[in-house]
Amino acid sequence: MSAQLNSAAVLHYLQNLQNQIVEALELVDGKTFLHDSWNRPEGGGGTSCLLEGGNVFERAGVGFSHVLGNKLPPAATIAHPEAAGRTWEAMGVSLVLHPRNPYVPTVHMNVRFFVARAPESETNATLTTKTSEDIWWFGGGMDLTPYYGFEEDCVHFHRTNKTALDAFNPTYYPQFKKQCDEYFYLKHRKEPRGIGGIFFDDFNTLGFEKSFALQRAVGDSFLQAYLPILQRRKDIAYTEKERDFQAYRRGRYVEFNLVYDRGTLFGLQSNGRTESILMSMPPIVKWRYDWKPENDSAESKLYSDFLIDRDWL
């Protein structure tokens, strides 16, 4: 069965995934997410689920989008010029959770599917094999951004990622981890955003059915990867000093999302809903001029022990 015929199955999975994650997070926080559905003039829409001022989450956004169009934005055509001029369809679930407690890491997860349809205006006799087929791929992953690092949390997060991928190919975890480390890197700061995880894009290596199964394995493993960390750390006592450092480090998150993040660029360039695209931003952020942590402090250990190229397993 072709990718075109199965896009409905992907759509159904993503909508259910959003609902499952929101329900699980509501149980942890005790407050209810706002559900905000929106439509896009060019086609499609989505539902943004947002929790602000929660008991556990200072801001948590879990968004679903399904957008369609006739002309790809520059963020997509640069990487895939062969898809230019085609009608396209993109769908995905993307989340960013900003907990209130500085000892709980921020986390990001995204799973998505993209199709650029084969032209219908030409007859099959005039189409080459390449142009007569839909262009499609899956993408996604998850990464962890601690403010105060705990080795067991990092190991658990990476081990869960590896377990999800090993059923498909044992080479995928090291490959996707490397891609994650390279992608979530602030070149202007010369530092990683966090301790990484996995990242994959333009993935169709296994054919549609198995590639879709891999995406589901990643999406389904998110709660297992993050909730145990959240439960361990959410009730640790903290002071304004830790909150201040959290706000400072959140600045790096904002810098990455606005300068480098492909999803942000694609959403804005494709005329997506701005509030939904930017709901990943933390609510309280601080910047300081040329600030550095004190030697041998808990804050300095984030840089020396966690924001480094490291094999967590």
Tell me the per-residue pLDDT of 184-237, one tens digit each, with 9 for 90 and over. 999 999 999 999 999 999 999 999 999 999 999 999 999 999 999 999 999 999
Chain segment 15-25, per-residue pLDDT in tens: 999 999 999 99
Which pLDDT belongs to residue 75? Answer: 64
| Residues of the chain by 3-state class (helix, strand, coil), percent to 5 | 45, 25, 35
Q: What is the mean pLDDT of residues 280-295?
A: 93
Every domain of the chain and the residues it spans: 3-306
pLDDT above 80: residue 270: no
CA angle 106, 109, 113 (to 5 degrees): 160
pLDDT computed for residue 265 by the predictor: 81
Q: Which of 80-84, 109-113, 258-262 has the lowest mean pLDDT?
A: 80-84
pLDDT(313) > 90: yes
Beta bridge pairs of residue 198? 142
Least confident of 91-105, 107-121, 126-140, 299-313: 126-140
Residue 263: band (very low, low, confident or very high) from pLDDT cuts 50, 70, 90: confident
Instruction: Give the per-residue pLDDT at 297.
Output: 96
Which CATH number fits the domain 3-306, given the four candidates 3.40.50.180, 3.40.50.300, 3.40.50.970, 3.40.1500.10?
3.40.1500.10
Report CA-CA distances (Å) from 148 to 8, 232, 241, 303, 309: 41, 13, 12, 10, 17
Q: Provide CB contacts within 8 A for 301, sequence distance 6+.
A: 149
**By percentage, how much of the chain surpasses pLDDT 90?**
74
Among the ranges given (15-29, 71-85, 147-161, 170-184), the one the predictor scored with the smallest mean pLDDT: 71-85
pLDDT band at 40 (very low <50, low <70, confident <90, very high): confident
Residues 123, 138: contact at Cβ < 8 Å? Answer: no
Whole-number Å distance between alpha carbons of 278 and 312: 31
Residues listed for the chain: 313
Using 50, 70 and 90 to split pLDDT, how confident is the model at 132?
low
User: Which of 306, 301, 287 shows the shortest CA–CA distance to 248?
Assistant: 287
- Assign 8 to helix, strand or coil: helix
Q: How confident is the model at residue 269 (pLDDT cuts 50, 70, 90)?
A: confident
The catalytic residue positions are: 108
* Residue 295 identity: N
The partner residues of 206 in beta bridges, in order of sequence, read none
